[in-house]
């Protein structure tokens, strides 16, 4: 927590820097320093996202002002995007061992996305102390599937007009039918 506070204070201090070139150089140095402190890219991504949100609120509340405050905010957003893209392309391929199971997901990506979001929303994995991206990566490994647009897929699920959770309803109905058949 102390590292987070120190890093946050250093980022906020950049908002007072008047020279844009010096600001960029200092920002990059801070990112390199923080990268060496964080244990994983995921924790670095989380830290940057939280600081960006905090800075955004500070700007909105006029706690921080000036044109360079918005520049720091944009730099944080850019860094977050770069890390997210890198994490999606590289880190996910090297952090989890490849599953040697013969299991393959034969449903749609939308079906799997419903299941993943339901598991995350109920907090039943690691007592709710895991990121959605960790669950996605695990399912990708176990079922040998890629879910590059999981957030967009979830948005489409949320925007469904009739039944929003078609797959989960199908699971429920299938399990009830199986139980009823076994009871006969």
pLDDT in tens, 108-133: 999 999 999 999 999 999 888 888 88
pLDDT at 142: 87
121's tokens:
């929303």
**Cα–Cα distances in angstroms (integers) from residue 48 to residues 79, 80, 84, 111, 180, in the given order:** 8, 6, 11, 31, 51
Q: Count of CB atoms within 10 A of residue 162's CB? A: 5
Helix (H) or strand (E) holding 158: helix 150-158
Largest CA distance in the chain: 78
Cβ atoms of residues 90 and 150 within 8 Å: no
Distance CA 126, CA 120 (A): 10
pTM of the model: 0.49
Distance CA 163, CA 172 (A): 14
pLDDT at 121: 94
pLDDT tier, 96 (very low <50, low <70, confident <90, very high otherwise):
very low
């Amino acid at each position: 927590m102390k590292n987070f506070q120190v890093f946050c204070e250093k980022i906020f201090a950049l908002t007072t820097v008047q020279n844009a070139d010096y600001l960029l150089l200092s920002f990059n140095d801070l990112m390199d320093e923080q990268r060496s402190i964080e244990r994983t890219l995921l924790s670095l991504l989380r830290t940057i996202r939280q600081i960006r949100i905090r800075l955004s609120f500070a700007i909105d509340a006029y706690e921080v002002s000036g044109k360079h405050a918005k520049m720091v905010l944009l730099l944080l957003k850019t860094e977050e995007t770069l890390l997210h893209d890198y994490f999606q392309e590289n880190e996910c391929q090297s952090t989890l061992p490849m599953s040697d199971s013969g299991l393959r997901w034969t449903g749609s990506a939308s079906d799997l996305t419903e299941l993943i979001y339901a598991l995350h929303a109920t907090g039943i994995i690691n007592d709710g102390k895991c990121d959605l991206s960790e669950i996605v990566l695990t399912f990708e490994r176990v079922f040998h599937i890629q879910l590059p647009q999981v957030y967009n897929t979830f948005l489409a699920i949320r925007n469904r007009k009739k039944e929003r959770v078609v797959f989960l309803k199908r699971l429920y109905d299938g399990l009830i039918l199986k139980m009823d058949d076994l009871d006969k």
